[in-house]
Amino acid sequence: MVEEKKLGKLLIVDDDKIIVKLLSRIFEKYCTLETAHSGEEALEILERGYTPGVILSDQMMPGIQGSEFLNQSIKYVPDAKRIILTGNQDLQNIMEVISVAKAFMYLVKPFDNIALIKNVSNAFEEYNTRKMLTNRIKDYESTIDKYEKRINSLVGDHDMNVETLSIINTLYILAQNDSRYYFRQGLSSICITCRYLAKQFDLSEDESENLVYAAFIQGIQRIGSSDKYHLSDPTDLTLSEQQTYKNHFVASFSSLLDNFNIASVADACLKMWEKPNGKGFPNSLKEDKIPVNSILLNLAVRYENLVYRLELKDLKKLKEEGQIIQTHETTLVRHHAAILELSKNLSYYEQLPVKAFKNLITFGDCPTLKPTEEELVIKL
């Protein structure tokens, strides 16, 4: 049985007033309802601006049949999930009806109330999930577009060599593919975390902007890399793997260093895996040779990787099953483990950035540092 909460807007269409009353009684505590006794009446409701997430319609009605009504409803609510009720159990006829109606599913009368509720609930889950993902994609594309325009404006007034231009042009490819092994949109989450970290660390507006731009381009070196490099941080690789990765990593940012307007952004990326104790990657820098932006960028990226990136050990399972789920409980465990991991073995130089990071988690309102209560899924 579904929870007693509003799933969304439902439109019920049936010429049998008793059936409409029965269905209304079943769904009134779960949904916002509109009802109609014909396809024509239902179309008028849609024309007036009612936007159901799910339409439940009988097939056999006077005037417009259910399948034709559902087909016409597409121009008003193209994303709605359509369920057709039919008393005909002939499979060929049912398939023809589904094809015309562009139906999400069909249910044969007489129906079991619990099964009906479950199927309508599944339709709402599909609709709401797609709506949420569509909104996230729009927000994500808006963010990407903003930073791409800004980066192009930074380099637009200066001569770029072919390699630099190639790197800039690959940003959209990165933005579209960088999150494929994350349980949420990893790139945009890292950008948001960096924005909040910059504020928490009281960076200037220019420094803050540079940090966010660095977050946006820090994954350039992963384009074209094998799965292992997507799922491992440089410090987790063997020495021979690090050397292979280093060549690609350094080359990815070196040509950006030639342009003075974007050099500080590229420099923050290039030094993001360095450690103040001199045991970092790729050049074993120490202490004040590492920009603060690099340390803050590292904190944001490592948190995302530790909590929301697919673990390398689960890659085989993902490829075999086509999807992998991370529960809220697992997200919470990974969140607390990440805080411990990022807090240990600190040198004096790292204390302030990590303190700012922990304060942001404990007292701040950064949405990307609060464990989601949702069940998360990666699908191939």
- pLDDT, tens only, 342-375: 888 677 667 888 888 888 888 877 888 988 878 9
Apex CA 341: angle with CA 351 and CA 246, to 5°? Answer: 90
CA distance 5 to 29: 7
Strand partners, 12: 35, 56
pLDDT tens digits, one per residue of 176-226: 566 788 998 777 788 889 988 998 888 888 888 888 888 888 887 776 678
Chain centroid offset of residue 106 CA: 30
Quick check: bond before 371 cis, omega within 30? no
Domain ranges of the chain: 8-127, 158-379
Q: Are 108 and 119 in contact (CB under 8 A)?
A: no
The whole-number pLDDT of residue 208 equals: 87
Residue 30, CA distances (Å) to 4, 26, 46 in order? 6, 8, 20
Q: Are 66 and 85 in contact (CB under 8 A)?
A: yes
Residue 334, CA distances (Å) to 33, 192, 328, 342 in order? 41, 19, 10, 12
CA distance 194 to 292: 12
> In CATH, what class is 158-379?
mainly alpha
CA distance 137 to 140: 5
pLDDT-above-90 percentage for the chain: 26
CA distance 60 to 55: 15
> In CATH, what class is 8-127?
alpha beta
pLDDT tens digits, one per residue of 232-288: 888 888 888 888 888 878 877 776 676 656 788 888 999 999 888 888 888 888 878
Strand partners, 54: 10, 81
The whole-number pLDDT of residue 24 equals: 93
